[in-house]
Structure 1
Amino acid sequence: MRINRSIVFVVNNLGYGGAQKMIAFVAKSCTTLFDKVYLISLSPQETLIEVNKQISIRKLNYRTGRSVREKLNYKIEVIKKLREEIEHIEPVLVCAFGADALFISRLATIFKKIKLVGSERNAPESYSKIWKIINKINFSFCHGLVFQTNQAMRFYGKKILDKSTVIPNPYLDVNEYQKPFDGKREKLITTAAASFEYRKGIDVLIKAFAKINEKYPDYLLVIYGEGPLLNEYKKLIKTLNIEKYVVFPGTVKNVSKEVYNSSVFVLPSRNEGIPNVLIEVMGVGVPVLATNCPPGGPAYLTDNGRRGILVDVDDIEGMANGIAEIIQDENLSKKLSDRATEILDVLDPQKIAEKWKDYFYFIIKD
Structure 2
Amino acid sequence: MKKRILFMTESLGIGGAQKIIVFVANQAIQAGYDVTLMAMQPDTNIFKIDSNIKVITPSILTDNKKIAIFEKVRFFRKILSSTKFDCIINFPISQTSFLALLGNKIPLLTSERGAPSMYPFIGKMVMKYMFSKSKLVGFQTSMAQDYYTQLSKSKTFVIPNPVFFDQSGQDKIFKRQDVISVGRFDPVKKFDNLIQSFIELHDDFPDERLVIYGDGPQRDLLEKMIADANAQNYIKLPGKIKITPDFYNQAKIFVLSSQYEGIPNTLLEALSTGTPVVATDCEPGGARFLTKNGTVGGPVVPFNDVQTLRNSLYHSLHHYDEALKIGELGKYVNQEFAPDIIAKKWLDEIERFVEGA
Q: Which amino acid in the other structure matches residue 284 of structure 2?
A: P
Q: In the alignment, is residue 329 of structure 1 matched against residue 319 of structure 2?
A: yes
Establish whether residue 260 from structure 1 lines up as the match of residue 249 from structure 2: yes
Shift of 1:65: 6.4
Residue in 2 that maps onto 1:225? 214
Q: Which residue of structure 2 aligns with residue 26 of structure 1?
A: 24
TM-score by length of 1: 0.91
Instruction: Tell me the amino acid that sits aligned with residue 58 of structure 1.
Output: I
- RMSD between superposed Cα atoms in Å: 2.0
CA distance in 2, matches of 1:18, 1:136: 22
Offset, 1:176: 4.7
Q: Hey, what does 1:342 align to over in structure 2?
A: 332
Residues 106, 116 of structure 1: 8 Å contact kept: no
- Say yes or no: does 1:138 pair with 2:138: no
Letter aligned with residue 164 of structure 1: T
Displacement, 1:330? 3.3
- Distance in 1 between residues matched to 2:325 and 2:217, nearest whole Å: 37
Name the counterpart of 2:85: 91
Task: Give the aligned partner of residue 277 of structure 1.
Answer: 266
> Relative to structure 2, which stretch is displaced further, 51-60 or 310-319?
51-60
Structure 1 residues 184, 254: CA separation in 2 closer, same or farther (over 3 Å shift)?
Answer: closer
Check the 8 A contact 1:268/1:291 in 2, yes or no.
yes
Residue 300 of structure 1 corresponds to 289
Secondary structure of 2:3's aligned partner? strand
In structure 2, distance between residues paired with 1:313 and 1:111: 39
Q: Secondary structure at the match of 1:263?
A: strand
The answer for the alignment partner of 1:173 in structure 2 is: 165
Deviation at 1:263, TM superposition (A): 1.0
| Number of equivalences | 354
Q: Would you say 1:118 and 2:110 are equivalent positions?
A: yes
Structure 1 vs Structure 2: percent identity of aligned residues? 31
> What's the CA shift for 1:184?
4.8
1:77 aligns with 2:66: no
Matched, 1:352 2:306: no
Letter in 1 for 2:320: E
Match of 1:244, SS state, is coil
Task: Give the 3-state SS of the residue equivalent to 2:246 in structure 1.
Answer: helix
Distance (Å, rounded) in 1 between the aligned partners of 2:226 and 2:52: 47
d(CA) in 1 for partners of 2:246 and 2:304?
Answer: 28
Please give the per-residue CA displacement for 1:86-135, whole angstroms capped at 9, x wherever unaligned: 3333221211111215414522xx353x2101111111111111111121
Structure 2 Cα separation of the partners of residues 278 and 115 of structure 1 = 34
Note the C-alpha offset of 1:74: 3.5
SS at the partner of 1:85? helix
Q: 1:205 to 1:64 in 2, by over 3 A?
A: farther
> Residue 304 of structure 1 aligns to a residue in which SS?
coil
**Alpha-carbon distance in 2 for matches of 1:281, 1:330:** 16
Gaps of 5+ in 1: none
What SS is found at the alignment partner of 2:77? helix
Q: Does 1:363 align with 2:357?
A: no
The Cα shift of 1:80 comes to 2.5
Q: Structure 1 residues 13, 63: CA separation in 2 closer, same or farther (over 3 Å shift)?
A: farther
How far, CA to CA, are the matches of 1:87 and 1:95 in structure 2?
A: 17
Closer, same or farther in 2 for the Cα pair 1:105/1:304, shift >3 Å?
farther
Tell me the distance in 1 between the aligned counterparts of 2:315 and 2:172: 19
1:157 Cα shift?
1.9
Is residue 181–residue 261 contact of structure 1 (8 Å, CA) maintained in 2? no
Deviation of 1:277 (Å): 1.2
Preserved contact between residue 116 and residue 144 of structure 2 (Cα < 8 Å): yes
Determine the C-alpha separation between the residues in 2 that align with 1:104 and 1:183.
50
Name the residue aligned to 2:44: 46
Q: Given the alignment of the two structures, is residue 185 of structure 1 paired with residue 183 of structure 2, yes or no?
A: no
Q: Which runs of 4+ in 1 moved over 6 A?
A: none
Q: Secondary structure at the match of 2:28?
A: helix
CA shift, 1:43, in A, is 1.2
Preserved CA contact (<8 Å) 1:42 1:61: no
Change (3 A) 1:320 1:139: same
Listed one character per residue, the Cα deviations across residues 292-327 of structure 1 (whole Å, up to 9, x for unaligned) are: 111111111111111121000111111111112222
SS across alignment from 1:28: helix
In 2, distance between residues paired with 1:238 and 1:26? 43
Q: What TM-score results when the alignment is normalised by the length of structure 2?
A: 0.93
Moved more, 51-60 or 20-29: 51-60
SS of residue paired to 1:222: strand
Q: Which residue of 2 aligns with 1:129?
A: 121
Using the TM superposition, give the Cα deviation of residue 189 of structure 1 relative to its aligned residue in structure 2, in angstroms. Answer: 0.5
